[in-house]
Amino acid sequence: MRSPKEIALDTKLMDMLKGLNLSGKALSAGKCIIEDQEVQAIQEYANTVSIKRLGYNDHGPVHMRTVALNGLIMLDLLREAKIKTSLETEECGSFEDSLIGVLMAAFLHDIGMSLSRQDHEIHSAYMAYPILDRLLRQVYAGDIQKQVTVRSLALEGISGHMGNRVIHSLEAGILLVADGCDMTKGRARIPMALSGSPKVGDIHKYSANSIEEVRISQGQEQSIRIEIAMSSEVGLFQVEEVLLGKIAASTVKKYIELYAIVQGGEPKRYL
C-alpha cells in the first residue's frame, strides 16, 4: 500500500507528465509503473533491507519517486533551453521516449538494494530487465524498436547511477544527478531514529539530516540551477562527497550551476 508521501509524489509526477503536453505515451508509462504491484513490492523490500538490515538511508518508494521527479524537472529545463537528448540527437527517439527511459530508470534504479549494497546498481539492472520488458510492451505496443531502445536507455541509467561506471547518454547523466539531489533530512529520519552506537558511515546520516531543501530551477548562466539549503555546515559533506562526484561523472555537468546555502550565510558556488 502506498504511503501518503508516495501518493503526494505520484500526484506531482502525473501532473507534471500531463503538463508537458506530449503524445500520451509518457503519461501511460507513468500510470503503468506507479500502479505496478511488483514494482511497489520490490521498492518496499529494498527499503526494508537498506534501513533495517544495512543501516543505510531511504532507498525505497519515496526515494525512487523523488529521483523521478528530479529527473523530469531537469529534462524539462534542458528542453526549454533547446538542448536535445541523446535519443533526439541520434535520431532514434523523441524527447518523450527519453523521458520515459529516465522515468522508468528512476523507479527501478535501487531495487538491487533488496539483495546487497555492494554492486546494487548491477543487481538493479538485471532485476529491472523483465519489469522494463513487460511495461514497455504496454507503452509501445507493436513497436519493438522503441521497446528495445528505451529499455537499453533505462538500463544504462540504472547501471550507471553510482557514478563509478562511464555513461554516455544525456539521459543516464540526468538520472545520476537526479539521484544525487535526493539528500534532504527526510531520507535520514528513520535511520537516525533506529541508530544505536556510532559506526563507520554515520557521517552520511548526520550530514543528510542537516539538508533542509534541494531546489532545482532554471539557472542564470546554465540551464539547470541546483541549490542545497542546509541548517549547518555538516551538510557540506553531502554536497562535496556525494553530489559533486555524481555531477562530475555526469554527461550533464556542463549544463549545471551548483550552490550550497548554510542558514544565515551567503551562497557558496561550486559550479
SS3 220: coil
Please name the residue that has the C-alpha cell 539521484: 179
Of 124, 103, 242, 246, nearest in space to 171 by CA? 103
What local confidence, expressed as pLDDT, does residue 55 receive?
A: 83
Mean pLDDT throughout 117-138?
97
pLDDT tens digits, 168-216: 999 999 999 999 999 887 555 555 455 555 554 555 666 778 899 999 9
| 28 and 138 Cβ atoms separated by less than 8 Å | yes
pLDDT in tens, 59-72: 999 999 999 999 99
- C-alpha to C-alpha distance for 268 and 146, rounded to whole angstroms: 43
pLDDT tens-digit map of 11-48: 999 999 999 989 999 999 999 999 999 999 999 999 99
pLDDT of residue 56: 80
Instruction: Return the pLDDT at 122.
Output: 98
Q: Are 5 and 11 a contacting pair, CB within 8 Å?
A: no
Strand (E) or helix (H) holding 87: helix 86-89
Looking at the whole model, is its pTM more than 0.75?
yes
pLDDT of residue 20: 93
Q: Which domains does the chain have, with CATH numbers?
A: 4-269 (1.10.1300)
In the predicted structure, residue 265 carries a pLDDT above the cut 80? yes
Q: Are 136 and 151 in contact (CB under 8 A)?
A: yes
Between helices 170-180 and 95-108, what is the axis angle to 10°? 40
pLDDT, residue 200, reads: 47
Q: Which has more confidence, 237 or 136? A: 136
Q: Which amino acid is at 204?
A: H
- Per-residue pLDDT of 73-127, as tens digits, reads 999 999 999 999 999 999 999 999 999 999 999 999 999 999 999 999 999 999 9
Q: Is the pLDDT of residue 51 over 70?
A: yes
Q: How confident is the model at residue 58 (pLDDT cuts 50, 70, 90)?
A: confident
pLDDT confidence of residue 27 = 97
Query: Are residues 29 and 104 in contact, defined by beta-carbon separation less than 8 angstroms?
Result: yes
What gap in Å lies between CA 245 and CA 21, rounded to an integer?
34
